[in-house]
Every structure is written in structure tokens, then in C-alpha cells.
Amino acid sequence: MNNLITSLRPQLYLKLMIVVVCMLVLGVTFNVQAQNLAGQQCPAWVHDLHTTVGPDGAVYPTWHPPVDPTYGCWFDHEHGSDPRQFVGFSSTGMPAFGYTGKMAGLSEPHEGFKVYVANNDLNGRAWMVALHQGSRGPRRAFVQFHSVDWFVTTTTGQPLAFVRSMGDFGYASPNCTAPGNETFGQFQVIQGSTATYPFSGHQLQRRFLPTVSCATTRVYETWTPIINVANIFRASGTFDIDNPSTVVDPANPETVRYMCEFRSPNENCASWYGTQWSGNKRNIIAPQYVVNNTGASEFYTDAYGKPVAAGTANAIRQFVATTSFQQTPCYCNRDNYRPVKNGLYVPNLPGNDPQLMTDGFPFGPGALGQYPTNTPGAPTLTPIPPTSTPVAPTSTPVAPTNTPVVPTSTPQPTQIPSGASVIVSVNPASAPAGSTVNVTIGVANVTDLYGLQTECTVNPAVLIGAGRSDGDVFNTSNSFFVDTGFQNGSWVVAASRLQPNSPFTGSGAAYTLSYTVNGAGSTDVVCSALAVNDDGQEIPVTVINGSFNGGEPVTTPEPPTQTPIPTVVVPTVEPTVVVPTMEPTIVVPTGEPTVVVPTGEPTVVVPTEPSTTFAIIGGVMAYQNRPDNAGIIVQLVRTDASVIAEVTTGADGAYRFTDVPPGTYGVTAIAGQHLRIGKIVTINGNETVELGKLTLPAGDTDDSAAVDILDASLIGANFNVSVPPAPANGDLNKDGRVDIRDLVLVGSNYGLTAPIVIP
């Protein structure tokens, strides 16, 4: 036996040596291949290593860094924020690019997937959005639905909502009205863009894209979706691309036109690549979501968010904790989330600017040297098994650490007034440094209250403003808020209810201002208040102020040195629009007539039709809340919309049409910043028809025939500012200042569109 082993040993050694040499050779070959890739563009096989396992168990492409950590080669695209930096990453894992689209039967190009990670939204929550949003081809103008996977946790990573659906981005419109006009083409549709419903210029969901006629006027594009997952999770926000790669040519929708040829003709414009127009500079404006789940935390929907039974083909398993919360936008600077140098998105606040990623997310050869300095370690190349289903919180989600805590019991004022009053209640009345003090602005014995504006002043050495929270009377489900922020001891807040919410009568908490104790000492909390009804008319109130009795010294924080910008908070719930129940039998003219300034008695155009019997139509037209009613154009129109008589009112608002023959007419009224109204009148013979006083709803600051978010934003941006410098169309009641009197006119008519037929 030993002789046999001895005789075989040389042959075995030879074979082993051959194997070892082959392995070494192969190993050297692999190393040379890897070394040769460093600094070059990655081949497809390297890209294909970056995968994850989706909820259905299939393997999908996923996020990868701009430079492959193993081979040192670079990719010709990027995917935004690194998901591994998300505080909830242990529950979400890597995003599965293409899973949601697959469940909808759609294929979305891999390069278009972008990730947005914000680990602190200033409301005690964090979120990651994986969105399909590419700008390298014109097809984006003609696709209504794109996948949006939205993951929300607390700032400590506790799961709150993990949902996937196809976001509805509506129609595509040009990002300019006409060459040289930078106004978005709100009422225009890019030729060939379609949706599953009729077009309206007031739809929130929209993509405003650069076209061949707009590219030299306005460059950036915005994508705003509506996301609705089983009416449990609803979200929106504007995803902005500052340097889109291509331009849409509606006449040649399949032709690729590069932004470079319109904006940078001196660059090599044969492609987007190598130019400054690569689509890698992206922001999020006013991200918002509303969560209201009273049922099971786990449920199923189709790819478009409609509930389906478990086991339904292509059903998506959704997770939303059994809780309610929301993030509502302020439409201010802090609502503009921008990426900093590590790729995370942060609110646009003082102090973030030096860290901003001004050159966009790196990719291509330019990414060499930038990775992995500011990026965590390389992702695992082995497919990641799906994580277990997120478990609903066993207790109520942790309250945000930086959000003021509302007292569990309503502080009681020291005196209860008998008349209409605003009561300032401070709780606790004394507290050590660093503590939270809540100042509840309450109302008592008010009648028909629709809006409230307060300006509260404290000693900033003792108290510093921290945040505002909802009350019973005004909250983010029924009201607008304008909040100027805490500025050198002063804090202005205004709130207006929204139609169809009725005016408030009685007593309750309006809202709460939360302060942080900054130092030792005491301070009075002195507030002035302006209360108004739904016409913006003042309601006299008595203000009963409060005081804080003292705190202990503290060295930080310091009062803010930069003036905050006023914010507008708008409910994300769509307001109910009051639709007239009476169908008009006339067509109201859609064109805006030229305003005729009255020179004395209104001139009446008398109909020329021969008739033996004539009538008189008269009445009063009024603004909703102005010192006089001069300048309202009143027209008498036929059923075919032709105008047969027109007058312009004087200060009393009176008008009169004489010698009106028998027939059916419309009496319409038109005025700037107001919605057009009309009333149907039938004349039977020789009679006088008095229509009484009719009021035009105010709030249409941009004369777009609708009272909407654009009007609220204009009021908020100029709140508490005199005219000028505030624009005159924001001063709806013409008292020379933009304030709560104007805000309630938007709130009381929010969602209404013209023409409005008066029954």
C-alpha cells in the first residue's frame, strides 16, 4: 500500500501544482482586471452587482455610490442620498428600484430613480423618499404616474409609515407662459400630455417642464404629485430639478433636445454628459403628508393605492402605524429641503448654507476623490434578504423632541371675563432654564369669530420662542396659519378658518405658543389681538395678558440673529368646494372686460331692439370688505354671453339698467381680486326688478378665477407689511396693510371658483 501511495505521489503533486499555478494565474488576472477599472467608467457587470431583494422576493437594482468601492470605477449616473444614512435603514433596507412600477405593469428606467433622505424634518420625524424622476429624455412629459416609495419614522428610527405607490403627477405644462415670461404655464398643457381626468389649471398634481420655447426663459422643472394610499397615507410635495438634462419639443416628442444647446452652446452639446445640465441638482419644496390610521397597521393595496385583499395579484403590502400625525408646509424658506455635503436633505435654515451641496450629487469622473470621504462604507454586494415586516409601535409614537408639548390640561386664567376676550395663559408660571413654557392664546365669549391675529412680546433674555401648536378653534385641519416666527422678543401669529368651516362662537383655545426658558428673571407676556368675522370686519375683544415669574440662568441658546420669514400653513385636506345647486341658463363671459372708471352717473347702453314694453333692473354690488364699492363693473348679458349694457359703480355700489325688453338675462359683476358673480333675471313686461345687495367674494389676489394656495401664499409672504412695499393686490380690503383682515377673506372663500351664480 505504501509503495502504491509513493508511486502515485509524484502524479498527485504535479496535479496539485498545476491547480495552484492556475489559481494564482487566475487570481492575478482578477487583480489586474480590478486594477485596470480604477478611474474608468464601470462596466455593466459591476453595476449589476448592486442589487437588493424586493418585497416579492425578486432581485432588483438598488442605490449605489458614484464610485464603486470595490473596483474604483465610476458610474455615469447617481441616485441621490445614501439610504444607509436614513435613521430607519435597519427597518427599510435598500430600496428596490422598479418594484412598485412592476406591480403596476410599468418599466421605469433605472437611471431615473432618486433617493431623498431627511433625518430631521423639525417635527420630530424623519423620512426617506425613493422617487422615479429622470430628466434625460422627453418621455417624462407624457407619463402621468411615477413610483414614489415613502418611508417615515421618528428621529430615532421607530417605524411610522412605509408605503409604496404610483404617484399621480397629472398633466405636464410648460415652465413658462411664453418666451420671455417666467410665469409657469398654469393653464397650458404640453401637446401630447394626457391624464386619466380632464385638465384644470388649478390641479395641484403637475409637472412644469422646460420646452423648446421656454428653455431660454426658465430652466428648472418641478414635479408635484398627489399620493393617496387607501386614504390612510396622503402626501405631496414639489420635487425640483435645477439643471434638467433635456428639453421637451412638443412638435417632435421623440426627439431628444439637450438643455445645453439652449443655455450653454459653447459646451459640447452632443449629449447631456460632460455639461452642467446633468439633472443632479435637486431640492424638495414643501413636503407634506397626513397619516390617519384607526385600523390595522398592515394592509394591502394595488400599485395605485386602492385597497385590495391580501393575496390579490400584484398587491403591495403597506405598513402604517395605528396613529394620526401630519406634516403641513409653512411655504417658507425652511420648507425648501436642500442636500448638504453628505447627501442628506435638511431644511433651508441659517447655518446650513456653508454645508450645501451646491454642485449637485457627484457622479462620473468628477466623483473620484469625493467618495468615500463623505459617504459610509460600501454596500453589501450580496443580495440583501428582505427585512421583517415593520412592527407597529407598541406605545404611542414618541413626541418630537423639538416640538413644543401642549399641556395635558388647559391652563385656567386668573379671571373669567364676561365679554368677548382673548386670554393669555402661561403654564407653568415658573420653571428652570431649558424648560418649556406654553402660552395658550384662548378666546372667550366670542361670536362669529373667523380669524385671529396676535402679537405677543416677552423679554428674550428670559424666554425664547420655540414653536406653535394647534388649538380647538384654529388647527391645521380647518385653518390657515401665518407665523412670522419669534423675532427679538416679538411673535406674530395669525389664523383664519377655511370654508366650509363655519365661524366659531363660544370659548376655546385658539393656539399655543411654546417658549424655552433662556435665563433668570421674570417677564410679562403682553399680547395685542385683532379678531375678525368671515368678512374681515373687526370683532371688539378685551385682552387679558399673563406673566412668567422666573427661571434660572443658562448660557445657551442665544436668540436668533436672522429675521425669520413669515410662514403659511395650509391644511393638506382638500377643502370642500361649495357648488351652486342652481344651473345657470346663461353663459357668463370668460374674458375680463376693460375697467371703466366712472366719471359721474354710469352710462347705460340701451338695447336697440324695438319693443313696446320695457323694464328696469337695479340693485347694489358690494365688495366683501372695503370702505366703499366704487369701481365694480356690472354687465347685462344675453343668454349667448353677449354684453348689451355695462355700468361701473360709484362709492355706493348702485347700478341701474333701463329700457330692458322682455327676455332672460344675466346680471354679472366683475372686480379685481374678487370672484365674478352672476344672477339670472327674467323680464316679462313693464316692471322694476330690484336685485338687492349682492357681494363679490374676495381673495382672488392673482385674478385667476379661483381662491387657492397661490392667493394664501401671497398673503403669507407679505403678512403684516404695509402697501407699499407689499403688493396692492394682497391688500384685499384696501386699508393699506396686509393682515388678518385680508387672510380671512382668502380663508372664507378658499376653494371657490368663478363664475358663481347667485340663486
pLDDT digits (tens, 9 = 90+) for 189-202: 999 999 999 998 88
pLDDT of amino acid 564? 45
Q: Which pTM does this prediction carry?
A: 0.51
Among 200-204, 307-311, 492-496, 678-682, the range with the most confident prediction by mean pLDDT is 307-311
d(CA 43, CA 515): 57
Question: Residue 653: is its pLDDT beyond 50?
Answer: yes
Q: Given pLDDT bands bounded at 50, 70 and 90, which one contains residue 422?
A: very high
Calculate ∠ Cα 457-463-469, nearest 5°: 75
Task: Quote the mean pLDDT of the chain.
Answer: 79
What are the CA-CA distances from residue 642 to residues 584, 591, 594, 616, 639 (Å)? 15, 11, 15, 19, 7
- Mean pLDDT for the stretch of residues 710-729: 83
Which has more confidence, 599 or 735?
735
E-only strand ranges, 195-297: 206-209, 221-224, 226-229, 233-241, 246-247, 257-258, 282-292
Name the DSSP letter for residue 273: T
Q: Which pLDDT score, from 0 to 100, does residue 480 have? A: 79
Residue with cell 370688505: 625
SS3 141: helix
309: CB partners within 8 A, 6+ apart: 300, 315
Per-residue pLDDT band for 418 (boundaries 50, 70, 90) equals low
The answer, yes or no, to whether residue 312 has pLDDT greater than 50, is: yes
- What is the C-alpha separation between 364 and 21, in angstroms, rounded? 38
Is the peptide bond between 372 and the residue preceding it cis, with omega within 30 degrees of 0? yes
**In the prediction, which pLDDT does 371 show?**
47
Q: Are 258 and 277 in contact (CB under 8 A)?
A: yes
| Cα-only R_g, the chain | 32
Cα–Cα distances in angstroms (integers) from residue 685 to residues 154, 636, 658, in the given order:
72, 17, 12
Overall size of the chain counted in residues: 759
**What single-letter amino acid sits at 538?**
E
SS3 38: coil
| Grid cell for residue 730 | 394682497
Least confident of 375-384, 573-582, 618-627: 375-384
The candidate with the shortest Cα–Cα distance to 283, out of 317, 237, 316, 314, is: 237
pLDDT in tens, 348-401: 877 766 788 888 888 877 777 654 433 333 333 323 233 333 333 333 333 333
681-704 residue pLDDT tens:
988 888 889 999 999 999 899 888
166-184 pLDDT, tens digit each: 999 999 999 998 888 878 8
**How many H-runs (helices) and E-runs (strands) does the chain carry?**
7, 41
Burial letters 535-564, b for 16+ CB under 10 A, else e: bbeebebebbbbbbebbeebeeeeebeeeb
Question: Which of 212-216, 562-566, 626-630, 749-753 bottoms out in mean pLDDT, i.e. has the lowest?
Answer: 562-566
Mean pLDDT of 273-290: 86
Model pLDDT, residue 369: 60
Percentage of residues of the chain with pLDDT beyond 90: 38
Q: Which pLDDT value is given to residue 223?
A: 94
Whether residue 424 contacts residue 545, with contact meaning beta carbons closer than 8 Å, is answered with: yes
- Name the one residue in this structure whose C-alpha cell is 411654546: 514
371: closest CA among 341, 345, 337?
A: 341
Residue 746 exposure: Cα atoms within 13 Å on the Cβ side: 32
